Structures are given as structure tokens and as C-alpha cells.
Amino acid sequence: MQDCLQADAESAMPNRPDGSLPRMAALRAFDAVVRHASFTLAAEELGIRQPAVSRYIAELERGLDARLLERRGRIASLTPAGEAYHLAVVLGMDRIAAAARAAESLAEDRQVTVACSHEASHFLVMPHYADLRHALGEDIGIRVLTCHHSVRDLPTDPTADIRLTWDPAGTRSEDRAVIFGEEVRPVCSPAYAAAHAETLAGPAAGWSELTLLDLMQTNAGWATWEDWFSVTGRPDWPPRRIEFGSYVDVLEAAVAGRGVALGWRHFVERFLEVGTLVALGDRFVGFDRTFCGVLTERGRRKPLARRCLDFLADGIADAAHA
């Protein structure tokens, strides 16, 4: 199974003693920096933090004893050595990807691949992974391909059988299943709620003194704070905001007591159950959007993919109402 969550943990591992085979995570980070000309954007694409990307690049440069990138402000550009190395990296990664696809096709009927956002993997797929394995069979291989959170329509991956996305357009009804409808509600830590109890007990118009936790980039397909306030009423003046590159970081900041986050029911229910977050307001507010599983052209040919899609649609809903 592939998951960007492993990247930070791997960053502490040393290079091979001969220095000839850098780790794939470091090569992916290097390629992402080159394509975006930015360490920050590369980190967002990979679903890791910017310092981890910097460590990967430093690791490669130590192993090669060569400077690969020059940084001028926020812009990263290739050195001559970096240009030669990047060409080799791209060619090598393309060959590895082609070989992986060839190997996967040999056991296609015993493996299912789910493509989704980093957040969907973290909050939806992985908490149900053991049940999914049990439902499909312990001998079935399950791969999870993650993509940057702000992508509404995930890029087509030739190895994917199922895509998890918001309101998929142009798909046949028999090839998709609704996993849940969008319902949101502000959440914060118990300590933050206690410290601002008087304000939170009043209408949203008085929330100007609060700190709102938000995403740096509006996530196409998800509700925003503006959507929420359009239903509940707007604060008298704009509250302070702290922005993050990942919704995982938004909820971590809420748990740490740094402010109020907008919580999606199926993403925050576990936090509410154990009490690390508390729900604000009198109810979840629903919007006319759905999160769906969609069979790809490859998935439509596989009975296993349809079984997996049925589980994701029914299993997550059953768990939410348990």
C-alpha cells in the first residue's frame, strides 16, 4: 500500500552505505520541487511538511556530493548537476512506474486500487482498512493512492479502480456510489470552548474575537467558512484566521486548542467520540454536495472493485450510524 504518511517517518533513515540508490521518497521530493520550483508547493503535493522536503534534498546532495538546487527567495532552480540528475530521475521513475503497472496486471483480479485525497485516506479509508480487508478477503491486495487535498476531480491514474471525490461529473449512476452527504459544524478543543464559553453561547455575529482555523487554498468541493456563515449569520467583523496546507493539520491545531475548525461529520466523529474535540452550534449543517466512490474504466471490468465500492459506501455509513 502506498501512502504519503510514511514519508516523515522515513526521513530519519540513512542512505544505503554505497550511496548509489537514494530512497524513492527523496527522489519524489526532488522531482516535485523541480516541477513546482518551490519547496512549499512540493510539500503540499506530497502531503508532508516543508522541512521534510528540505531534508530529502539535503540527503540527496550529501549522497551525491553535489549541489542540485539553488534557492532564491521562494524560487528553487536547478544547477547544471541538478539538470542532469533530474533527467535521470524522471527516466528512472517512468521505467519503475511502467514495470509496476506490468507487475500489477499479472494479479489484477486479486488486487484493488483506491485513489483519493490525503484527507480521505487518513480519515475515511484507513480507519476502515481492517474491515475492508476482512470483507474482500485476507488474500486480496488493497492499494491506496493519495493525491493533494485541494484536487476535486482526481487526476486519472491508469492503475486506479476506484476514485473517491466530491460530486463527480459525467459518471453513470451505476458506476458510482454516494458515501456520504456533506454536513459541517464548527469544532474546537474542550479547553478552547471553556475559555470562550460566553462568546460561543451567543450567535455567530459575536464570533469576531475567535480564531478560525482554515486551509491556505480553498478546497474545491468542500464547504468553506463563508458557506457556514451564510447559513448561521456572519460575525460583526472578520475573525482572525490561521491557515494550514492540510486539513489534517487544521484538525491537529483544533485539538491543540489553537482555534475553531470547520468539521466534516465523517472526518471529526472519532474526535468527538473520544472528547478531544467538541461540537459547537446546535447542529450539523448540510449542503447539497456528496462525497462519492466512482469506478474507473479499469474498475468497471473488475467484480472485486464493485465489491470494494459497495463496502466503502455501506461500511462507512453503517459505522457513522453505529
DSSP states of 47-111: TS-HHHHHHHHHHHHHHHTS--EEEETTEEEE-HHHHHHHHHHHHHHHHHHHHHHHHHHHTGGGE
Alpha-carbon gap, residue 207 to 209, rounded angstroms: 5
pLDDT at 221 over 70: no
User: Model's pTM, two decimal places?
Assistant: 0.62
Written as one letter, the residue type at 57 is: I
Backbone φ and ψ of 295, nearest 5°: -75, 135
pLDDT, tens digit, 9 for 90 and up, residues 101-137: 766 655 667 889 999 888 888 888 888 888 898 889 8
Indicate the Cα dihedral angle 162, 166, 167, 169, nearest 10°.
Answer: -60
Ramachandran sector of residue 221 (left: φ over 0; alpha: ψ -120 to 50; beta: rest) = left
Q: Which domains does the chain have, with CATH numbers?
A: 6-104 (1.10.10.10), 110-178+289-320 (3.40.190.10), 181-288 (3.40.190.10)
- Grid coordinates belonging to 11: 526521513
The tally of CA atoms less than 13 A away on the side-chain side of residue 316 is: 26
Residue with the larger pLDDT of the pair 289 and 152: 289
